Amino acid sequence: MSEQPGKVSPHDPQVARRNVRLALLLGGVALAFFVAFFVAMA
């Protein structure tokens, strides 16, 4: 996360890489919630 990223197009490769990394992290967190919750209940 940057306070002033300065690049605003998702088609810019540098921006795209940064976006995908953060998206995978967030998606991983959501998936971890689901799995951890299920395992805890089981």
Partner 1 sequence: MSHAATHDEHHDHGPEAGIMRWIKTTNHKDLGTLYLWFSMIMFFIGGLMSLVIRAELFEPGLQFVQPEFFNQMTTMHALVMIFGGVMPAFVGLANWMIPMMVGCSDLALPRVNNWGFWILPFAFGLLLSTLFMDGGAPAAGWTMYPPLVLQTGDAFPFLIFAIHLMGISSITGAINVIVTILNMRAPQMTLLKMPLFVWSWLITAYLLLAVMPVLAGAVTMLLTDKYFGTSFFTAAGGGDPVMFQHIFWFFGHPEVYILILPAFGIVSTIIPTFARKRLFGYDSMVYAMASIAFLSFIVWAHHMFTVGMPLAAELFFMFATMLIAVPTGVKVFNWIATMWRGSMTFETPMLFALGFVFLFTIGGFSGLMLAIAPVDFQYHDSYFVVAHFHYVLVPGAVFSIIAAIYYWIPKWTGHMYNERLGQIHFWLSAIFINVTFFPQHFAGLAGMPRRIPDYATQFTDWNVISSVGAFVYFVVQFVWAYNMIVNCIMKKGEPATSRVWEGAHGLEWTVPSPAPYHTFEEPPVLDESEVQGAHADEHQHEVQGKPA
Q: What are the residues binding partner 1 (CB under 8 A)?
A: 1-11, 15, 18-20, 22-23, 26-27, 29-31, 33-34, 37-38, 41
Least Å distance, CB 28 to partner 1, is: 10
Please give the structure tokens belonging to residue 41: 């209940």
What radius of gyration do the chain's Cα atoms show? 15
Say how far apart CA 34 and CA 31 lie, in whole Å.
5
Least Å distance, CB 5 to partner 1, is: 6
Comparison of 1 and 13: residue with beta carbon closer to partner 1: 1
Say how far apart CA 27 and CA 14 lie, in whole Å.
20
